[in-house]
């Protein structure tokens, strides 16, 4: 788990509690979930859960303590001045297309403050930045940059207006490895980017991040190349204790990630007395989900909703609504309540709040977990299987009894496999046609989404077993999910039952007879009114209705689907929601 080194004197100064002893600080931080690991040359070392990345610096730890002490309340958003600098994104390498930035003015950097900034930078690299692969931070002395002057544009496609006269511009672009030269940090000779990754010790450490690029990322000002992200900055803009104004740039593979990293750094420097100034980002080829111009840093808050009942049930304590709001404000959040439902505002540095249970956790920590009264449960029970798990096992047993072989496939697949190869589109009004929940940082292109229905997984098994003897009768009871923005988690989850028959004489009637028997085993009443479905043959497909509720589909797979999967025998299949039984 991540650790943070904290100078206790610095922490007392930032919190305004000079009376706190080291033992007091250790005890208070333990209440926040930071466990004391020992002493280092820099001070006290604490370990904490990897979700609270805003605590990777003494400034973030001090902020949490001030909320815990009740000195600060609610969401704080640092004031931000209008932009005077623009980052122009032109002809950037496809492997690293995103950039963000901010200016921080009026800092008084002593050795301790500079060490804290470097620690935060490197620990963000190691965590959110995935060792700089997903996001890398460059911090520069602003006085050493010379921006190109840009004139105001009559157009206005940005988040807060077009550039004004006098704004200065730097450029994020790509350069050949043997292109322009610069002096890297901890170097004394001009090198090309290619020479940096072969001859410079920092370049050698991060060479793998750019080794396969034909053109590597580079940032220029009016003087020339001054940053080679994600590898190393130039020596010309090195930050020292004499620096007062900083330019912060971050590049990466995901805009959301580098924007959140930037927010964490800006909040830390704001706590040191810095004044935040926006930076305009202009994309020559804007990403689909963002406008052509952005103004950063992004300090917009997000919201989560959680019920009063859930808070009390999870914590096991009765709380008045005004008490809950007080605890949320002491956690650095804002909240309003209506009809027992809290709408909670989350500050931009809290990258850990992804689910209502995270809000409940904050309420518990502000209340004090040690202050919760221990009690025995009202009902003594013996651990056992969940009712749904029992039903799944019963259905699997019944399917095996009806001649199927039981499968257990991966929940993750690709959008092409779950939709395109089944002749489906996300906006089709057909069973299984949903927008899938996507993995933001997939390990493989074969596993980028959570499957929306089971049959594509079974058909892939048929595809991989064409060398096996027929008939092949396969079934699965498994997890599926799809995007649903009306839900708090924005994902709808369920469990389905699917069966498929692959043989030379497989027909709709064969699949229906198996389905009829399965439904009868559980006392249900089956109906199969005809419908249209892109994955199935016209006239040989029907809806599955159990006890009057439409819950699935049954039919013979369309020849186009069979050809797509290199299948030479017919396939008849069914799938429905497990909860219908």
Task: Point out the annotated binding site for Mg(2+).
Answer: 352, 358, 361-362
Taken in order 89, 250, 446, 456, the sign of the CA dihedral is: negative
Burial class (CB in 10 A: 0-12, 13-18, 19+), 467: exposed
In 3D, which of 348, 280, 293 has the Cα closest to residue 81?
Answer: 280
What is the rounded distance in angstroms from the CA atom of residue 494 to the CA atom of residue 400?
Answer: 22
Q: To which residue do tokens 């040191």 refer?
A: 272
Beta strand ranges found along 180-297 (DSSP E)? 216-220, 225-228, 232-233, 246-252, 275-283, 293-296
Half-sphere exposure of 573 (CA within 13 A, CB side): 31
Residue 195: burial class (beta carbons within 10 Å; 0-12, 13-18, 19+): middle
Q: For strands 405-407 and 472-483, give the pairing.
A: parallel
Three-state SS across 413-454? ECHHHHCHHHCCCCCCCCCCCCCCCECCCCCCCCCCEECCCC
> Residue 220: is the preceding peptide bond cis (ω within 30°)?
no
Cβ–Cβ < 8 Å for 536, 432? no
Residues 119 and 60: their CA atoms lie apart, in Å, by 12
Q: Give the DSSP letter of residue 236.
A: G
Both tokens of 90, joined, read 């032109």
Terminus-to-terminus CA distance in the chain, angstroms? 44
Each residue of 64-76: b (16+ CB within 10 Å) or e? bbbbbeeebbbbb
Q: Are 153 and 163 in contact (CB under 8 A)?
A: yes
Alpha-carbon span 328 to 259, nearest angstrom: 24
Cis upstream peptide for 527 (omega within 30°): no
Torsion of CA 41, 44, 50, 53, to 10 degrees: -90
Known binding-site positions: 352, 358, 361-362
Gap between the Cα atoms of 418 and 498, Å rounded: 14
Q: Which two tokens stand for residue 89?
A: 């994104």
Residue 218, both tokens: 């580079």
């Amino acid at each position: 788990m991540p650790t943070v080194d904290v100078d206790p004197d610095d922490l007392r100064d930032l919190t305004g509690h000079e009376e706190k002893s080291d033992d007091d600080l250790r005890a208070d931080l333990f209440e926040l979930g930071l466990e004391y690991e020992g002493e280092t040359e820099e001070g006290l070392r604490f370990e904490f859960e990897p979700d609270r990345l805003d605590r990777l610096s003494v400034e973030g730890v001090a902020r949490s303590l001030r909320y815990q002490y009740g000195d600060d309340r609610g969401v704080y958003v640092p004031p931000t001045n209008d932009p005077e600098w623009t980052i122009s994104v032109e002809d950037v390498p496809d492997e690293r297309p995103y950039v963000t930035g901010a200016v921080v003015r009026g800092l008084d950097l002593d050795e301790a403050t500079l060490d804290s900034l470097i620690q935060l930078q490197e620990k963000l690299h190691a965590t959110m930045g995935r060792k700089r692969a997903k996001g890398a931070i460059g911090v520069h002395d602003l006085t050493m940059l010379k921006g190109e002057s840009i004139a105001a544009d009559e157009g206005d496609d940005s988040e807060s207006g077009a550039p004004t006269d006098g704004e200065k511009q730097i450029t994020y672009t790509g350069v050949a490895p043997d292109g322009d030269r610069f002096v890297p940090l901890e170097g004394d000779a001009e090198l090309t980017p290619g020479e940096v990754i072969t001859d410079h010790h920092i370049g050698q450490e991060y060479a793998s991040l750019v080794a396969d690029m034909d053109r590597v990322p580079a940032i220029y000002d009016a003087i020339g190349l001054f940053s080679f992200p994600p590898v190393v900055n130039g020596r010309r803009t090195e930050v020292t204790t004499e620096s007062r104004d900083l330019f912060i740039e971050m590049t990466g593979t995901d805009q959301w990630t580098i924007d959140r990293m930037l927010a964490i750094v800006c909040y830390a420097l704001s706590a040191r007395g810095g004044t935040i100034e926006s930076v305009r980002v202009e994309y020559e080829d804007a990403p689909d989900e963002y406008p052509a111009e952005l103004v950063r840093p992004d300090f917009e808050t997000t919201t989560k909703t959680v019920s009063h009942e859930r808070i009390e049930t999870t914590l096991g304590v009765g709380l008045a609504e005004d008490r809950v709001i007080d605890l949320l404000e002491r956690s650095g959040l804002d909240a309003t309540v209506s009809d027992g439902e809290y709408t909670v505002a989350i500050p931009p540095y809290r990258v850990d709040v992804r689910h209502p249970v995270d809000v409940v956790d904050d309420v518990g920590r502000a209340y004090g977990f040690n202050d919760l009264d221990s009690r025995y449960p009202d009902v003594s029970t013996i651990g056992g299987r969940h009712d749904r798990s029992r039903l799944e096992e019963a259905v699997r047993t019944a399917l095996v009894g009806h001649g199927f072989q039981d499968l257990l496939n991966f929940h993750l697949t690709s959008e092409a496999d779950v939709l395109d190869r089944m002749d489906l589109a996300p906006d089709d009004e057909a069973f299984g046609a949903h927008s899938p929940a996507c993995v933001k940082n997939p390990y493989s292109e074969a596993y980028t989404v959570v499957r929306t229905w089971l049959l594509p997984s079974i058909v892939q098994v048929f595809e991989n077993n064409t060398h096996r003897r027929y008939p092949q009768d396969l079934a699965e009871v498994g997890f599926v999910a799809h995007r649903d923005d009306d839900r708090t988690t924005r994902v709808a989850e369920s469990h389905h039952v699917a069966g498929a028959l692959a043989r030379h004489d497989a027909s709709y009637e064969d699949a229906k007879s198996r389905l009829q028997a399965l439904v009868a085993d559980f006392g249900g009443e089956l109906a199969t009114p005809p419908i249209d479905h892109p994955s199935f043959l016209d006239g040989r497909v029907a809806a599955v209705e159990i006890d009057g509720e439409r819950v699935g589909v049954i039919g013979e797979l369309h020849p186009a689907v069979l050809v797509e999967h290199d299948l030479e025998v017919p396939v008849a299949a069914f799938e429905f929601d497990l909860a219908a039984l």
